[in-house]
Amino acid sequence: MTHSRLFKTSILLIVFNIIAYPGFSQGNSNEKLDVSGSISVMNEGISTVPSLALGEPAAIFNLSVGKRFRFEPELRFSLEGKPWSFLFWFRYDIVKNDKFSFRIGAHPAYSFRTVPALIDEADQSEEIIEARRFLAGDMNTSYSVTENFDVGFYYLGGHGLESSVPDQTHYLSLYSSIPNISLFNDLYMSLRPQVYYLKIDEIDGFYVASSFALGMIDIPFTISTTINKVIDSEIENDDPLWNISLNYSYRF
């Protein structure tokens, strides 16, 4: 990315934060905001879609500010310090109660890659970081079958604004969630298996994936892993794909 484009991108990110900030009050300037987030470090960067990976160790920073309406930026970096992707989610809970939830969201995003670029007439080149723009929206539903067992579906649709990225991406997941399975003493485990369909422009595939997490009650650190397996796909993927992640969660 040239210095000019980097400057414009930085300004755009600041503008998004300024625009989003008034909505955080939720209509009551004296109401305390819900602020939470997580920091994850992993040996393999895996995206929201489990079959899409960075191909190297990564760190992911998540933040959520708001209540029913939330601003939720997600910043992903390789452990070399290079940006991987920046997502700036705006999410809204249409329905949320003890049994059922229905949430929608939308975001602008940037995906980054390192490319060679000529720097003078002698054909000398250097590597630069190029930003590619996306727009996306998602929808998530969840139904509590029991106190500790949820089922739902998640849909994510994305549109690339550059010729070097896919024009249309569709991801549909049928999942279940089993949080806080007590093992012994204060140790617990959480499971989130899913079956999903992924379509990128004209090619598609079916997959199965699951996330597992181990933690201790009242300790903000967890260890987790995500495992992804191809069922049938035209999309080129590492198979199987997995990672191990150390996660820190916080809430104010």
Cα(first)–Cα(last) distance of the chain, in Å? 35
HSE-CB of 168 using CA atoms within 13 angstroms: 6
**Where does the pLDDT of residue 96 fall: very low under 50, low under 70, confident under 90, or very high at 90 and above?**
very high
Residue 18 has pLDDT above 50, yes or no: no
User: From CA 61, how far away is CA 209, in angstroms rounded?
Assistant: 22
Rounded mean pLDDT, 80-102: 95
- pLDDT band at residue 22 using 50, 70 and 90 as cut-offs: very low
Integer Cα distance of 104 and 120 in angstroms: 48
Tell me the backbone φ, ψ of residue 73, rounded to 5 degrees. -70, 145
Which region among 49-63, 122-136, 174-188, 232-246 has the lowest average model confidence (pLDDT)? 122-136
What pLDDT was estimated at residue 27?
47
Residue 26: per-residue pLDDT: 47
Q: Which has the higher per-residue pLDDT, 72 or 117?
A: 72
Q: H helices within the chain, ranges in order?
A: 3-20
User: How far is residue 41 from each of residues 61, 217, 245, measured CA to CA in Å?
Assistant: 9, 21, 6
**What is the structure's pLDDT at 30?**
55
Tell me which of 163 and 247 has the higher pLDDT: 247
Burial class of 85 by CB neighbour count within 10 A (0 to 12, 13 to 18, 19+): buried
Nearest C-alpha neighbor of 211 from the set 195, 228, 196, 232:
228
Contacts of 81 (CB under 8 A, 6+ apart): none
